[in-house]
Amino acid sequence: MAKNLYTITPDRWVETHSDYLFNFAMGKVNDRDIAKDLISETFLAALKAKDNFKGEASERTWLVAILKRKIIDYYRKINSNKGKAEVKVNYFSADNDGDWLEERIENPDYVTIEDNIINNELSEAIYACLDKINPRQATIFKLKTIENYDTEVICNEYNITPSNLWVIIHRVRAALADCLKEKWLS
Amino acid sequence: MNHDKENFHQLACICDKCQYDEASFLEKVQFKLHLMFCETCKDYAAKNNRLTTLIKQANISCLSLEEQKELKSYLKDKIT
């Protein structure tokens, strides 16, 4: 039986995949500018390699695979630069906690590895749910909820009234709650 | 308390505005009073609060409008 092959649409990459890829990159490098550069490099590499896309995996899986390689390259590069430029002073050892005052104070923002795994899983789940929603509404929701844009700015950009905006926000929140209810909202 | 779909929709929108701290004082009072008698809205508000907590907990990032535009024009240049 003939297999359905995926296709690629580079002119839709920013709308469909940039936020997901950016979120993924932020999780790995935790720097907005570096994450943006990595996304640009990923798209550029993908454009160059688009003829090699066989369509066996989805466009997003393919782009994420390229992004992962870019992230590895990024860390390789900064680690090799570090080795040349830095002298590491190691005052920390297993039986000595170090004398710096900052290190002795408990960090209130301290996140355990388990918390990180759960949060990553949660952010994947939220993005998967948002992918099922109308892309325009999902973008408006993300700008309002994640980027904390003013209602007025979004209304001007998308040429909608504040009432329209709240209706969209309500629809997306309801859809998101419905999508997340089994695993996360019960 | 029973209310029609349209009324629920209006109240739900006020509840959503509260999540973003954009409900007016009057809307907040109206909604709080309503919650005292309405189990449906109370349930909706509880779920809505939980959803807001989950979104914050997930620590999601996305591109701003300007960053999206920059990326679009960069990609457009490269495609053409």
Give the three-class secondary structure for A93: strand
Confidence of residue A95 (pLDDT cuts 50, 70, 90): low
pLDDT of residue A102: 55
- pLDDT bin (cut points 50, 70, 90) of residue A113 is confident
Q: Is the pLDDT of residue A153 over 60?
A: yes
Average pLDDT for residues A16-33, to the nearest whole number?
A: 92
Contact B54 A184 (CB under 8 A): yes
**What is the band of B66 on the pLDDT scale with cuts at 50, 70, 90?**
very high
Query: Hey, what amino acid is at B48?
Result: N
The DSSP output letter for A154 is H
Handedness of CA B67, A136, A130, B16 (dihedral sign): positive
Percent of chain A predicted with pLDDT > 90: 57
Q: Which residue has the higher pLDDT, A18 or A82?
A: A18
Structure tokens at A80: 């090799």
Rounded Cα distance between A139 and A147, Å, is 10
B71 falls in which pLDDT band (50, 70, 90)? very high
Among candidate residues B68, B24, B59, B8, the one with its CA nearest the CA of residue A15: B68
B73 CB neighbours in chain A (<8 A) are: none
Higher pLDDT, B79 or B25: B25
Average pLDDT over chain A, rounded to whole?
84
Mean pLDDT computed over A100-118: 65
Instruction: Lowest mean pLDDT of A32-36, A97-101, A152-156, name the range.
Output: A97-101
* CA B41 – CA B31 distance, rounded (Å): 9
Looking at chain B, which residue has its C-alpha nearest residue A111? B57
Residues in chain B within 8 Å Cβ distance of A185: 47, 50-51, 54
List of chain A residues whose C-beta atoms are within 8 Å of the C-beta of residue B41 = none
d(CA B77, CA B74): 5
A178 touches B: beta carbon within 8 Å: no
Most confident segment among A47-61, A91-105, A129-143 = A129-143
Residue B7, pLDDT score: 81
Tell me how far apart the 2 most distant CA atoms of chain B are, in Å.
Answer: 61
Domain ranges across chain B: 5-79
Complex ipTM tops 0.85: yes
CA atoms of A102 and A100, how far apart (whole Å): 5
Q: What is the pLDDT of residues B5-17, one digit of tens each?
A: 778 888 899 999 9
Distances (CA, A) of A5 to A8, A59, A151, A153: 10, 10, 41, 40
pLDDT at A56: 85
Interface test with B, best of A123, A137, A149, A186 (most B CBs within 10 A): A123
Residue found under tokens 């959503």: B16
DSSP A3: P
Quick one: pLDDT band at residue A137, thresholds 50, 70, 90? Answer: very high
Mutate to test the interface with A, among B40, B62, B76, B77 (most CBs of A within 10 A): B62
Both tokens assigned to A10: 């580079």
Report, as an integer, the average pLDDT of A20-43.
94
Domain A1-86 top-level CATH class = mainly alpha
